[in-house]
Amino acid sequence: MIKIRLKKCPVCHSDVKVIIDWDGGRINGKFRQFGYCSICGYHSDPKDSYEEAANTWNAQVSSGHQLPLF
Ligand SMILES: [Zn+2]
């Protein structure tokens, strides 16, 4: 699997991970994934693959778009 360098959390500047959306259940037989900061809970939208989730995270951080926290 290709590892994509994730930008740091825009809220607390911690390192983040792409995690699996266990709570969201399977969509088309697969769990979705999203960028998630375990320190403050900031996250990006769930996507179908690691690459998509990582790219979405990076784009979201770059745009400065703020999603509500958990
Ligand atoms: Zn954070």
- pLDDT digits 0-9 by tens, 7-61: 999 999 999 999 999 999 998 899 999 999 999 999 999 999 999 999 999 999 9
What does R_g of the chain's alpha carbons equal in angstroms?
Answer: 11
Distance 14 CA to ligand 1 centre (A): 6
**Would you call 43 exposed, middle or buried from its count of C-beta atoms within 10 A (0-12, 13-18, 19+)?**
buried
pTM for the structure as a whole? 0.83
Alpha-helix residue ranges (DSSP H) falling in the chain:
50-63
CB 33 within 8 Å of CB 47? yes
Q: What is the pLDDT of residue 64?
A: 73
CA triple 7-64-27, angle to 5 deg? 70
Residue 69 has pLDDT above 70, yes or no: no
**Domain ranges, ordered by start, for the chain:** 17-63
Distance 37 CA to ligand 1 centre (A): 5
Q: What is the pLDDT of residue 68?
A: 57
